[in-house]
Structure 1
Amino acid sequence: MSARRCPMGTVGTASTASTAGTAGATGVALHGPGPGGDGLAAFQERLRRDHGPVVPVTIAPGIGAWLVIGHRELLRLTREEGDFSHDPRRWSLLREGRVPPDSPILPMVGWRPALLYADGQRHRRMRAAVTDALDRIDGHELRRGVRAAAERLIASFAGRRKADLVAHYARLLPAQVITELLGLDTATGQRLEQAIAGLTAVNADSAGSSARMDAILREVIVAKRRRPGSDLTSALLLHPAGLTDEEVLHNLAVVFVMGRQTTVNWIATTLRILLCDPAFRSSLAVGHLSVDDALDLVLWRHPPAQNVPARYATRDLELGGRRITAGDMLLLGLAGANQDPAVLPDDGTPVVGNRSHLAFGAGPHTCPAQDPARLITRTAVDTVRHRLPDLELAVPESELTWVSTPWSTRLAALPVRFTEPQLPHADLL
């Protein structure tokens, strides 16, 4: 993990290599320092200009992969399961023992018995259970719960007239919501949040954090087997698909590891743009943009997960003018594909109300949790707008810092100040 200021100059190391799948391959480094904020768009443009729609990259020193940033190529990658498998056990570098067992990327790309790592019928069986469990969420109840939690968080820092909207708000709110959805008590939810945060940091403790997360979820599953409730854990355990306890554990892990950090990023990025882009903020204030329009523009320009792992070539083939070898890893370059000139208007501006972006993926593995994620994010942003109407950035935008992993670039902090918080009556919090 690394933090850095925005904007950045050069990023990574451009490669002239024609292959990315072999150990030790060189390519554009997705690990280490990278662009933040609006610098991400320029970075994607350079990748497309220098490498085309399929880019040789490294996700750790000596660990090569392909980053697919062409819109057409990414759709093929996500839709043709016969050519591109989700199962990391096909990854040639892993099969050949060329990925260190303590590599910090393994908790995100190592195989689990979960829908993200399965193809065909096995994927459909687990996805049906996860989708049905998520569909049981009452949207009205979820909105009320998110708003109440958001107002409590705002009240906790309102007296200081300043806050870090990443640490004090965006990072805490999804964790509290997830705790309730899973049917966890507060203490267990806090332990799970700490473990997930460590796993997604992609550092030396990621493997340990992953083990702690699994242990916590096992405790929860044992408890819910004994006494099921009206929560997502119980819904998965009782689903007719007959998921094993291990499958329930790992599907919960996938949904909420991916969902937690992307929701944090979506909230934080939307708030940053509201603070830093006067035209964006004005359009929202006067009703030219709805909150949902604003959220979609953020998904087009700054998707919460820029690069999503992974697919594995099942045979030698060609993609975007590149020769892909069986067993190569391919990453979904969602940020790059959203900027592909082939799918944008001539001026490069996404159309308001257009949800054909790829921020949630595409094909059979499109994110199943996008509706609750949108509801959480919309409510989080709307609550800040109403409760802190005179909110402003407390530092120059150029001083904002960013955290990088191979999968995403996110705000390290969003320091703000305000003078007149509009809090609800204390007995409503």
Structure 2
Amino acid sequence: MTHPAHSTPGTGGRCPVATPLYGPQLDGDGLPALYEELRREHGPVAPVTIAPGIEAWLVLGHRELLRLTREEQDFSHDPRRWSLLREGRVPPDSPIMPMVGWRPALLFADGQQHRRMRAAVSDALARINGHELRRSVRATAERLIASFADRREADLVPHYARKLPMMVITGLLGLDDRTGQQLVQAIAGMVAANADSVNAGKRMGAILLALIEEKRRTPGNDVTSALLHHPAELTDEEVLHNLVVMFVAGNQTTVNWIATTLRILLCDPAFRSSLTGGHLSVDDALDVVLWRFPPTQNFPARYATRDLRFGGQDIRAGDMLLLGLAGANQDPEILPADGIPVIGNRSHLAFGAGPHTCPAQDPARLITRTAVDTIRHRLPDLELAVPESELAWIKSPWSKGLAALPVRFTDPQLPSVRTPASSSISQSGEPS
């Protein structure tokens, strides 16, 4: 496998040689090997660049990542502490700024300010009715499957995994389908870390600001309205940027989780047989993905609040440290001897750790589980349409997602169309 070429960061020689985590040469299939090479060469904390001239430390050790996420006195979430930014060494149009630029959102706050915003976000998410969400995901999944069932083939990334979370999550936020699709396109452009990322971030902000103005005037039973009217009294700007964090974290992560789980079921006959025979559950498959192919590979960022020795490296105040979630999951210090995670073990770091652990992991799991389970039952003879070796990952320093998942099938088991008499409203007028 060819790794990205090494480069020397502009830090006056105090850093070891750094490895780029960006560019068209980024090989998604080779990322696990790259992380292990970095671990062998540098230990649990490795020097990387995430854009031209932008250096950071990638935390690959499981123990070190736990410390990074738990000890806010040493590692802040606030990018305004970032020395490269303070020194004017990050161009305003840098493709990474939409991901790491400061926002008044829980992801960029410490201490009491973080707890205030997290309370509002957690309470808004807790209001989601799990039974209703499951029904919504299943109905959406069945509509999507029906849209390509007659062709007896599909690409499950654009036709299923990418559409389903968007349709569900935008509904939770209170957006209509058309505006939701525009939001997804804007966010995809933002996280791509390319020349259009800044403009894509502006398009995303405009869509969400219009939604907030609407829900301020006319509240509904949605997450946006819950945030706007929470006792924490978030400002419109805080609601906007917390929605950005929720959607960016929720949508693409769930897309990747669904597609990669389906890949395992299609490419691992033993696993699929165990699942069909009831020896394993869909949740077991979801956990294998979170261990081996976490939907978010690397996550920005923490900033050192002081000079310290960390993971064998000399970290300076203001240095950026990235959460190497995928690398930390493969830390040989915590994996079994055979390197295979134990089924049912959820001590992975796919959702982060510490006070900033992802607050949306329960609805994300419900969406993914239902999406995978529905397509398994509706397309029981689903099979991969190309050799597994031809499947490719998207090229991103942050996400681990399939670029395509072409499949074929012969006998779709679509639900019968229900008559009005057998709809969700019973004869008495109550929900059935």
Q: Which category describes the TM-score, using the shorter chain as reference length? A: over 0.9
Which deviates more from structure 2 when the two are superposed, residues 419-428 or residues 140-149?
419-428
Shift of 1:425: 1.1
Task: Say which SS state the counterpart of residue 193 (structure 1) adopts.
Answer: helix
Matching of residue 285 in structure 1 with residue 276 in structure 2: yes
Alignment length, in residue pairs? 419
Counterpart position of 2:52 = 61
Q: 2:13 and 2:218 mapped to 1: Cα distance?
A: 49
Q: Take 1:398 and 1:349, find their aligned partners in 2: how far apart are those partners?
A: 21
Residue in structure 2 matching 1:248, options 239, 263, 271: 239
Aligned match of 2:181: 190
Residue 420 of structure 1 pairs with residue 424 of structure 2: no
Partner residue, 1:401: 392
Counterpart AA for 2:394:
V
Computed over aligned residues only, the root mean square deviation of the Cα atoms, in angstroms, reads 1.8
Distance 1:335 1:274 in 2: 20
Distance 1:141 1:22, change over 3 A: farther
Q: Which amino acid aligns with 1:13?
A: A
1:104–1:205 Cα contact (<8 Å) kept: yes
CA distance in 2, matches of 1:85, 1:13: 30
Q: Do the aligned partners of residues 24 and 204 (structure 1) sit closer, same or farther apart at CA in structure 2, a change above 3 Å counting?
A: farther
Query: Structure 1 residues 41-50 or 228-237, which shifts more?
Result: 41-50
Question: Secondary structure of 2:190's match?
Answer: helix
| 1:10 and 2:5 are equivalent in the alignment | no
Residue of structure 2 equivalent to 1:226: 217
Q: Per-residue displacement from partner, 1:66-87 (whole Å, max 9, x unpaired)? A: 0000001000100000000000
Misfit runs of 4+, over 4 Å: 14-17, 19-26
CA contact (8 A) 1:21 1:329 kept: no
**Separation in 2 of the partners of 1:237 and 1:131?**
13
Return closer, same or farther for 1:163/1:350 CA change in 2, 3 Å cut-off: same
User: In the TM superposition, what whole-angstrom CA distance separates every residue of 1:126-158 from its partner, at most 9, and x where no partner exists?
Assistant: 000000000000000000000000000000011
Match of 2:141 in 1: 150
CA contact (8 A) 2:137 2:370 kept: yes
TM-score between both structures, scaled by the size of structure 1: 0.94
Equivalent residue number for residue 313 of structure 1: 304
Q: Structure 1 residue 36 and structure 2 residue 18: aligned? A: no
**Residue 24 of structure 1: how far off its partner (Å):** 10
Q: Is residue 368 of structure 1 aligned with residue 359 of structure 2?
A: yes
Q: Counterparts of 1:411 and 1:21 in 2: how far apart (Å)?
A: 38
Which residue identity lines up with residue 316 of structure 1 in the other structure? D
| SS of match in other structure, 2:175 | coil
- Seen in structure 2, the aligned counterparts of structure 1 residues 212 and 342 have a Cα distance that, compared at 3 Å, is same
Cα deviation for residue 182 of structure 1 reads 0.7
Which structure has more relative contact order (CA 8 Å, sep 6+)? It is 1
Cα offset, 1:20, TM superposition? 6.8
Report the CA distance shift for 1:22/1:189 in structure 2 as closer, same or farther (over 3 A).
farther
| Contact preservation (8 Å) 1:23, 1:98 | no
CA contact (8 A) 2:7 2:20 kept: no
1:346 and 2:337 aligned: yes
Is contact 1:306-1:408 (8 Å) kept? yes
Change (3 A) 1:247 1:122: same
Name 2:428's counterpart in structure 1.
none
Deviation, structure 1 residue 400: 1.3
> CA–CA distance in 1 between the matches of 2:16 and 2:396?
19
Judged with a 3 Å threshold, the aligned counterparts in structure 2 of structure 1 residues 21 and 375 are, in CA distance, closer, same or farther, namely farther
- Is there any run of 5+ residues in structure 2 with no aligned partner, and where? 424-432
Q: 1:94 aligns with which of 73, 85, 107?
A: 85
Shift of 1:202: 1.6
Q: Deviations over 1:341-371 (max 9, x none)?
A: 1111111111110111100000000000000
Q: Using a 3 Å threshold, how does the CA distance of structure 1 residues 245 and 16 change in structure 2: closer, same or farther?
A: closer
Matches within 5 A, 1:63-82: 63-82=54-73
- Write the distance in 2 (CA, Å) between the matches of 1:309 and 1:72: 18
Q: Displacement of 1:194 after TM fit? A: 1.6
Relative to structure 1, is the Cα distance of residues 186 and 245 closer, same or farther in structure 2, using a 3 angstrom cutoff?
same
Name the TM-score, length of structure 2 as normaliser.
0.94
What is the CA deviation profile of residues 42-90 of structure 1, one whole-angstrom value per residue up to 9, with x for unaligned ones? 2222221122100100101111100000001000100000000000011
Measure the CA separation in 2 of the matches of 1:23 and 1:127.
Answer: 37
Give the secondary structure class of the aligned counterpart of 1:410: coil
234-243 vs 336-345, which moves further: 336-345
